[in-house]
Amino acid sequence: VDVPGAKQSVIQIGNLAPIRTHPDYDAIQTMNYKLGGSFSGFLNLILREEKGFTYGARSSFDGNNLYGTFQASSSVRSNATLESMEIFAGEMNKYRDGISEEDLAFTKDALIKSNALQFENMRSLLYMLETISEYDLPFDYISREQEVVRSMTLESHRELAQKYIQPQNMYYVVVGDAATQLEPLKSMGLGDPVLVDK
């Protein structure tokens, strides 16, 4: 999407993913955590902490009763657009090969601790009840989510990543200055970019 003279590029990458009630939905939340589901995710560590291209980069799986999506996104300096896109694609491909035992342990510890604090106030409890009602979830769904986190193995993590993170099948959208960014993006081998005016 062309925004002439833009100093930043907004990057959105994604595809369809499981709906909220899919059996794998909770597991893919755990799987995604170290890729881009937290500040310590690989995408943020590289694009923000190492490269300084952005204030933040993330990825997430979101779903409702009708459809689900996977999305990886960031806003980066215009002159870092191509390299940032290559980092997104490269990190997603690398993630499909699996993570370390240390990274898995970190993921479990972080998620279990955050989930334990998630429903300490009335607003959070109300949200939990609304979620149960909207998606017809069992009343112990929080406990079941925790068990999914605890039971995640390196092998199941890798299998989920290979099944649901497929960079070659994703849509890549860049909102930025086409005059400077369109031609370089062709080198990624994703096909000819489609230019859309803002």
Predicted confidence (pLDDT) per residue in 108-163, tens digit: 999 998 876 666 777 877 888 888 888 888 888 888 989 999 999 999 999 999 99
Q: Is residue 96 part of a domain?
A: yes
Predicted confidence (pLDDT) per residue in 160-194, tens digit: 999 999 999 999 999 999 999 999 999 998 888 89
pLDDT tier, 198 (very low <50, low <70, confident <90, very high otherwise): low
Q: Is residue 159 part of a domain?
A: yes
Closest CA to 22 of 57, 52, 56, 65: 65
Q: Residue 23 belongs to what domain range? A: 8-100+155-188
Q: Is residue 89 part of a domain?
A: yes
Q: Is residue 80 part of a domain?
A: yes
Our count of domains for the chain comes to 1
* Arithmetic mean of pLDDT over the chain: 94
Q: Is residue 124 part of a domain?
A: no
pLDDT at residue number 134: 86
Q: Is residue 128 part of a domain?
A: no
Q: Is residue 166 part of a domain?
A: yes
Domain at 90, CATH number: 3.30.830.10
- Portion of the chain with pLDDT greater than 70, in percent: 97
Instruction: Give percent helix, percent strand, percent coil of the chain, each to the nearest 5.
Output: 55, 20, 30
Q: Is residue 194 part of a domain?
A: no
Task: Give the neighbor-by-neighbor strand order of the sheet with 57-63.
Answer: 57-63, 68-77, 8-17, 171-175
- Portion of the chain with pLDDT greater than 90, in percent: 77
More reliable by pLDDT, 65 or 197: 65
**What is the pLDDT averaged over residues 50-66?**
97
**What is the pLDDT averaged over residues 32-57?**
97
